[in-house]
């Protein structure tokens, strides 16, 4: 139980949040069956309804920001499944971020190890793209040199502390080239009809730069001129979701500035394209994030109005169907689709990726049971809450096995890393691939 303690000065963020946001919840309970943590524990405090009640008491000054409150809010995945089913339109994402900001400012979860990891990851590595790339190159050398193979073969990972030992299999495979080595600053088809900006991300840039290249190829095939800033900053979603709102705003300003330099002005772009679900959900809310910044508020509104997920954009402009390859006797390949939480729940995009997959010759879409249920990645949840994350991953792997598919499509780098690690550990044989990569392959094969 979380005890109530009246406080004289309510924390800044939740207390200053528009109170109508906190009042939206009707306590109807429709969110309960959709919440992975409530499903696992059946405890009211582990549900969206329970967490909202706690947040409202914080805002009212009836509850202190305690360690118990902090642990509860970080036990939440932030998957936003509750928002999808909520009949009252509760803006849980906004409350969730403001609550975590209050927790960090109150310092109730401070510990030397946690503080170091947060400072190193959020304020150093993911706040500076050159540092992130340098770390990526070091990790690439470790993986490609054979040292990683030797360490694993000799089981030297057993010498690591338990938490690091458990995280080691989740290490993403860093690629030899980053996105700006694969993508020109400006690329244009013969008959451009649209002009778009391209966002390459941070984890996507290191682990899946080919997905960015594939996205540009798909845009070119769909008559879009593409402008891509080099060495881009993190979108800030990791910072916002972990209580670092000041840093999230700094990342937003950097991205707006970089895109303006690449495009001339935001108004000259028909769309700003993202191919990462978690990033896209955050990028579309720069207007809210920078609402109190007089220098950026107008530009942030333009930005948010123009950001599109790649599947959303293709559906909007009318996707060019790939040509059928030469006839083959091979049966169609079964592919299933895992819906990244921040694409289906955060951005309400579910139909468009399926339309892309159904358009590709040689594929047969097999629906995934519980396709919208979180895989347990959830940003850095698989690092901070490994036990619950593993439970969710095992559930997802079981559902994938039911489909018999040898290919799993998903549109978020965090989900891809999680599912690839799960496949390796479980011995399941399936390829994890972005829907846009499959479309790019189809364009090339049909050319």
| Each residue's pLDDT tens digit, 331-377 | 889 999 999 999 999 999 999 999 999 999 999 999 999 999 999 99
Helix or strand (DSSP H, E) at 307: strand 307-309
Task: Please state whether 107 falls in left (phi above 0), alpha (psi between -120 and 50) or beta.
Answer: left
pLDDT at 5: 45
pLDDT at 170: 79
Among 441, 416, 446, CA closest to 215: 441
Residues 6+ apart with CB under 8 A from 65: 11, 58, 102, 103, 106, 108
Sheet bearing 307-309, strands edge to edge: 186-187, 224-227, 194-198, 271-274, 307-309
pLDDT at 329: 62
d(CA 69, CA 59): 13
3-state DSSP percent of the chain in helix, strand and coil, to 5:
55, 5, 35
pLDDT (tens digit per residue) in 86-104:
999 999 999 999 999 999 9
The DSSP bridge partners found for residue 148 are none
Residues in the chain: 447
CATH of residue 24: 1.10.1060.10
Q: Which domain holds residue 424?
A: 333-445
Q: What are phi and psi of 198, to 5 degrees?
A: -115, 125
Q: Is residue 192 part of a domain?
A: no
Residue 326 pLDDT more than 80?
A: no
pLDDT (tens digit per residue) in 378-416:
888 888 898 999 999 999 999 999 999 999 999 999 999
Report the predicted TM-score, pTM, of the whole model to 2 decimal places. Answer: 0.92
Among 235, 241, 246, 237, CA closest to 12: 246
Residue 119 pLDDT more than 80?
A: yes
pLDDT at 2: 42
pLDDT (tens digit per residue) in 254-276:
999 999 999 999 999 999 999 99
> With contact defined as beta carbons under 8 Å apart, do 103 and 109 qualify?
yes
d(CA 34, CA 57): 24
d(CA 169, CA 160): 13
Domain boundary among 86, 106, 126: 106
Task: Please state whether 410 falls in left (phi above 0), alpha (psi between -120 and 50) or beta.
Answer: beta
CATH of residue 423: 3.40.50
Domain boundary among 106, 132, 159: 106
Rg of the chain, C-alpha, whole Å:
22
Three-state secondary-structure class, residue 225: strand
Three-state secondary-structure class, residue 309: strand
pLDDT (tens digit per residue) in 181-240:
999 999 999 999 999 999 999 999 999 999 999 999 999 999 999 999 998 999 999 999
Domain boundary among 60, 83, 106: 106
Q: Is residue 418 part of a domain?
A: yes
pLDDT at 328: 65
Split at pLDDT 50, 70, 90, the class of 297 is: very high
> With contact defined as beta carbons under 8 Å apart, do 283 and 201 qualify?
no
Q: Is residue 398 part of a domain?
A: yes
Q: Is residue 294 part of a domain?
A: no
Residue 9 pLDDT more than 70?
A: no
Q: Is residue 354 part of a domain?
A: yes
CB-CB neighbours of 356 under 10 Å: 22
Residue 446 pLDDT more than 80?
A: no
> With contact defined as beta carbons under 8 Å apart, do 358 and 365 qualify?
yes
Q: Is residue 232 part of a domain?
A: no
CB-CB neighbours of 28 under 10 Å: 12
pLDDT at 154: 86
Total domain count for the chain? 2
Q: Is residue 420 part of a domain?
A: yes
Split at pLDDT 50, 70, 90, the class of 317 is: very high
Among 270, 283, 274, CA closest to 224: 270
Helix or strand (DSSP H, E) at 143: helix 129-144
Residues 6+ apart with CB under 8 A from 405: 334, 335, 336, 366, 368, 430
d(CA 323, CA 95): 46
Q: Hey, CA dihedral for 113, 114, 115, 120, is it positive or negative?
A: positive
**Out of 6-10, 116-120, 430-434, which region has the weakest mean confidence (pLDDT)?**
6-10
**Out of 6-20, 59-73, 367-381, which region has the weakest mean confidence (pLDDT)?**
6-20
d(CA 163, CA 170): 12
Q: Is residue 260 part of a domain?
A: no
């Amino acid at each position: 139980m979380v005890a109530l303690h009246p406080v004289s000065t309510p924390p800044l963020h939740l207390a200053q949040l528009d109170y109508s946001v906190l009042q939206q919840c009707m306590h109807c309970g429709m969110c309960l069956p959709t919440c992975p943590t409530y499903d696992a524990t059946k405890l009211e405090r582990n549900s969206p309804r329970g967490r909202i009640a706690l947040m409202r008491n914080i805002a009212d000054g009836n509850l202190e920001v305690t360690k118990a409150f902090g642990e509860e809010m970080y036990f939440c995945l932030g998957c936003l499944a509750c928002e999808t089913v909520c009949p009252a339109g509760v803006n849980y994402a906004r409350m969730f971020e403001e609550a975590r900001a209050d927790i960090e400012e109150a310092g109730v979860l401070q510990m030397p190890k946690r503080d170091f990891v947060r400072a190193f990851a959020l304020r150093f590595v993911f706040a500076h793209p050159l540092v992130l790339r340098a770390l990526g190159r070091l990790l690439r050398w470790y993986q490609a040199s054979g040292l990683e193979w030797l360490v694993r073969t000799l089981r030297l990972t057993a010498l690591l502390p338990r938490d690091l030992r458990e995280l080691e299999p989740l290490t993403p495979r860093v690629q030899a080239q980053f996105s700006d080595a694969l993508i020109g600053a400006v690329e244009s088809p013969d008959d451009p009809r649209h002009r778009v900006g391209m966002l390459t991300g941070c984890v996507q840039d290191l682990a899946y730069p080919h997905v960015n290249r594939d996205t540009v190829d798909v845009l070119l095939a769909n008559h879009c001129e593409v402008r891509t800033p080099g060495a881009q900053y993190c979108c800030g979603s990791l910072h916002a979701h972990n209580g670092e709102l000041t840093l999230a705003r700094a990342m937003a300003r950097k991205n707006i500035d970089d895109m303006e330099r690449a495009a001339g002005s935001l108004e000259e772009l028909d769309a700003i394209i993202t191919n990462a679900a978690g990033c896209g959900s955050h990028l579309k809310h720069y207007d809210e994030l920078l609402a109190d910044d007089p220098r950026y508020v107008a530009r942030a509104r333009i930005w948010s109005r123009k950001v599109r997920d790649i599947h959303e954009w293709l559906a909007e402009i009318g996707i060019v169907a790939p040509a059928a390859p030469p006839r083959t006797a091979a049966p169609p390949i079964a592919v299933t689709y895992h819906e990244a939480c921040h694409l289906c729940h955060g951005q309400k995009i579910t139909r468009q990726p399926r339309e892309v997959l159904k358009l590709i010759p040689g594929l047969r879409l097999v629906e995934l049971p519980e396709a919208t249920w979180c895989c347990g990645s959830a940003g850095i949840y698989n690092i901070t809450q490994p036990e619950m994350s593993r439970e969710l991953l095992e559930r997802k792997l079981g559902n994938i096995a039911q489909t018999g598919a040898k290919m799993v499509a998903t549109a978020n780098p965090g989900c891809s890393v999680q599912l690839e690690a799960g496949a390796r550990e479980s011995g399941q044989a399936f390829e994890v691939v972005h829907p846009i990569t499959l479309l790019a392959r189809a364009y090339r094969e049909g050319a």
